[in-house]
Amino acid sequence: MKTQKTIRHIVTSPLVNMGPIKLRQPLPTQGIENVDPFLLLHHYGPYAISEFNNPFDLGPHPHRGFEPITLLFKGEQLHRDSLGNEMVVKAGGVQWTTAGRGIIHAEAPTKTFVKKGGDLEGIQLWLNLPAKDKMITPNYQHLEDEEIPKIFSDDKKVQLNIIAGTQKEATGKIKTQTEVYVFTAKAEENGNLEIEVPKHHQSLLYLLEGEVVVNGQETLKKGNNQMVTFNQDGNTIHFNAKSKSTLLILSGAPIQEKVTQYGPYVMNTQTEILEAMRDYQQGKMGYLY
């Protein structure tokens, strides 16, 4: 029997400063520490990138204990890491890094893109790893837009991109460490779709652009309320687009473990954080210049 998950929170997506970069941070936010297993959601851009304006140049930095994920909606970025990967992620593409015991990576708009100019917009997502997997071998997965399975609403007004998890006959190609669904959607005006998610999942819907009504009751609009989270009490989420819209839908089995975070490290204890800092300084996470 299908029942809608009830809405738990509806929140704005405030602008925050991350060094020279201004971006939206709906998670964490006041009253919502995380939506377990999702720890952080940054919505950056759209930035008008040019040779005179390139704020989103993130030099080499380490991670341990979680999965940093980039979903690119506009523009193109170069990913480099200490595993030796060097990949260009273009609009519609995904880079999924499993930091595990430690990885160093860097990302920035490609030199070609900076030279020609254009809009850059994306989502950076931090997905927790359970204690048993925090020190696994690091890994990197890359998907281009054409590699991502897609399903459509009956009237073809909504395209749902299945990055991880399953929906109807489609299964995402990302190999995940935990049970998670990561979907993006593009909806035309009056497009609507019902998404099936397991009852025990913690779930959220985030609006990047446009205006949608969620579960027939709450309206999300860019610059106003942009994110809803759901209770673990139903198995569907429905949205109806009032205008051309872009959305992110996340759902996952909660890990339910203590989270200890310091900067780029997400572990379970303060001792493990100190060990991560030491290991990075000693070069145990590799090198990237």
pLDDT confidence of residue 57:
87
- 188-225 per-residue burial string, b: 16 or more CB within 10 A, e: under 16: beebbbebebeeebbbbbbbbbbbbbbbeeeebbbeeb
pLDDT confidence of residue 19:
81
Q: Is the dihedral of CA 25, 31, 33, 36 positive or negative?
A: negative
Q: Where are the domains of the chain?
A: 7-281
Question: Cα angle at 173 between 94 and 261, to 5 degrees?
Answer: 55
CATH superfamily membership of 7-281: Jelly Rolls (2.60.120.10)
DSSP tag of 35 = B
109-127 residue pLDDT tens:
999 999 999 999 999 999 9
232-255 residue pLDDT tens:
999 999 999 999 999 999 999 999
- How far apart (Å, rounded) are the C-alpha atoms in residues 16 and 7? 25
Residue 14: in which H helix or E strand, if any?
Answer: none
Which whole number is the average pLDDT over 126-130?
Answer: 98
Between 53-62, 108-117, 191-200, 224-233, the lowest mean confidence (pLDDT) is in 53-62
Mean per-residue pLDDT over the chain, rounded: 97
pLDDT confidence of residue 105:
96
Which whole number is the average pLDDT over 88-116?
Answer: 97
Residue 37: in which H helix or E strand, if any?
Answer: none
pTM over 0.75: yes
Question: Cα angle at 158 between 154 and 164, to 5 degrees?
Answer: 105
- How far apart (Å, rounded) are the C-alpha atoms in residues 243 and 192? 11
- Asked whether residue 72 carries a pLDDT value surpassing 90, the answer given is yes
- Helix %, strand %, coil % for the chain, to 5? 10, 55, 35
CA distances from 118 to 47, 50, 114, 156, 224 (A): 8, 7, 8, 29, 26
248: which 2 tokens?
């992110």
CA distances from 42 to 34, 50, 68, 103, 196 (A): 13, 22, 11, 20, 25
pLDDT confidence of residue 114:
96
Cβ(147)–Cβ(180) below 8 Å: no
Cβ(261)–Cβ(79) below 8 Å: no
CA atoms within 13 A on the CB side of 106: 15
